[in-house]
Amino acid sequence: MRPSVQHIVDWFIPQSAHLERSDLSVARNFVLTHIFGPLMSQSMCVFLYRTDPNPGFACFTVIACVCLFWTLPFVLKFTQNIKLAAILSVELLAFTALFGTYFYGGASSPCLPWLIIALLLGFFYFSEQPMLIVALFAVNVTVFFIAYICTDFPEIVSASELSVVTWISIVSATLYMSWMAIYYSHVMSMRSQIEKETERYLAANEQLQVVKELADAANRAKSVFLAKMSHELRTPLNAVIGYSELILENIPPGTDETKQKDVRSINAAGRHLLSLVVDVLDLSKIEAETIELNVETFDLAYLLDQVVATVKPLAEANGNSLIVQHLTPLGSMQTDQTKLRQILVNLLSNASKFTKNGNVTLSVRMDRKSTGTWLDVRVRDTGIGISQADIARLFENFRQVSAATAHQYGGTGLGLALSQKLCTLMGGSIGVTSEPGRGSVFSFCIPAEVSEAAAEASAPPDHSPLVAPSTAALKPALGVSF
């Protein structure tokens, strides 16, 4: 179809038809056939007008009905309903064919071939509702036979005079049906291609589903393995940390400073390694879906004091001021205290580590909404900031802002990934806004009260804890970086 003709045809088509390729094709064919179809019938109208000795009601009714087909594209345009336009077209064609047959020639009328075309078009446009077309034609044919029985066929034009226009009508109907047959074969070919594409898609989807299940099973096995290995590593690390503390306690004051420094280095390295092992353990347990919430009621202000006391040395080591703001009365919370402390320590440790001689502000408030009471926490710093390109991958496992940042500041890239997963586990979410050179704001929001049922739903019933309380107590003393 030429672009100029297609542009004119598409003007009649409602926008909804453009959503489906098959609907668009049907609508375009409808408009084209109702523009050029009546043109093919004008020769018959002219012949009837010239051969009718006294053109009157019958002649002008046939001519008017043929011209009415030009209005149906406008019906489609303004109703945006292809089914309504199609049923009007089928009924108008059936009425015109039967009306012309009754007044002009009866069984040998040149209008009769168009009744068959009307029936075929009805089944084409309403293939899913064949009984509707059967009922419609039954009504039309019944009315036609009643009129025939009551008054017989009037002979306005003789049969010999109608023979010429009969051949014209047969040729026109043949051309029209050839057009529709070619179009229908095109539609069937297109549907066959769509069905083949659908079958290929379904087969590929099944293969992808199998591959996904295998990948998920491998990932769960990996997570379970890491969880078990991390758990086994904790025992000797706790022994190293414990014995180094005993050695420090037993070194007399004022003795060899080198020994004390070496033992402190062993203790610090053991604690740092233990923090990494615990992070991997927690992350693996979450991915393996073997972690649960230990819901308890506690005083939020007291927990914040503990977290601030833990992080304050790291903040002061970089010359930072640690500011705490209670924006609303806090009161108590009912959730997993250890996991909340872990999130707070992670965020404050990051802010303190990536800020030099600046401010780290912890803002906390209880937000009471229609869905319940929520804890809203914001950690603002004046540090190096993060670019928008890096924020998108900030919460990925083992992901750091850049290689240069990782080299300068250290860290494993687990802290923020773990914090995000813990927030989700506790029914909340975490986010960040930042600008390079102007600091960052990390914020999270979690429910202030978590029901016991929600906590039990967070893990399988046969879960057994893998983290000893002593390890959980050691973890907050360490800063975790992203």
* Contact between residue 382 and residue 368 where contact means Cβ atoms under 8 Å apart: no
270: which 2 tokens?
A: 């053991």
**pLDDT at res. 379:** 93
Q: What is the mean pLDDT of residues 126-135?
A: 86
**pLDDT at res. 361:** 92
Buried b / exposed e along 53-82 (16+ C-beta atoms within 10 A): eeeeebbeebbebbebbeebbebbeeeeeb
The CA-based dihedral angle spanning residues 164, 167, 171, 174, taken in that order and rounded to the nearest 10 degrees: 150
pLDDT digits (tens, 9 = 90+) for 188-218: 676 677 777 888 888 888 889 989 888 888 8
pLDDT digits (tens, 9 = 90+) for 20-34: 666 777 788 888 888
Tokens 């043949």, located at residue: 174
210: which 2 tokens?
A: 């199998």
CA–CA dist 165, 157 (Å, integer): 11
3-state SS record for 171-182: HHHHHHHHHHHH
Query: Which residue type sits at 97?
Result: A
**pLDDT at res. 480:** 31
**pLDDT at res. 220:** 74
Q: How confident is the model at residue 474 (pLDDT cuts 50, 70, 90)?
A: very low
pLDDT digits (tens, 9 = 90+) for 154-186: 878 777 777 777 777 778 777 877 777 777 777
**pLDDT at res. 11:** 83
Q: How confident is the model at residue 482 (pLDDT cuts 50, 70, 90)?
A: very low
**pLDDT at res. 362:** 93
State percent of the chain over pLDDT 90.
9
401: which 2 tokens?
A: 């802002």
Max CA pair span of the chain: 136
pLDDT digits (tens, 9 = 90+) for 352-401: 888 889 999 999 999 888 878 899 999 999 988 888 777 777 777 555 55
**pLDDT at res. 9:** 79
State percent of the chain over pLDDT 70.
81
Question: Residue 423's closest CA among 358, 374, 390?
Answer: 374
pLDDT over threshold 50, residue 476: no
Beta bridge partners of 390: none
pLDDT digits (tens, 9 = 90+) for 278-330: 766 666 666 656 567 788 899 999 989 988 888 888 888 889 899 999 998 88
**pLDDT at res. 283:** 66
pTM of the model: 0.46
Q: How many residues does the chain have?
A: 482
Buried b / exposed e along 84-98 (16+ C-beta atoms within 10 A): ebbbbbbbbbbbbbb
**pLDDT at res. 103:** 86
pLDDT digits (tens, 9 = 90+) for 44-103: 788 888 888 888 888 899 889 989 989 999 998 888 888 898 899 999 989 988 998 888
pLDDT digits (tens, 9 = 90+) for 242-288: 888 888 788 777 666 777 778 877 877 777 677 777 766 666 666 65
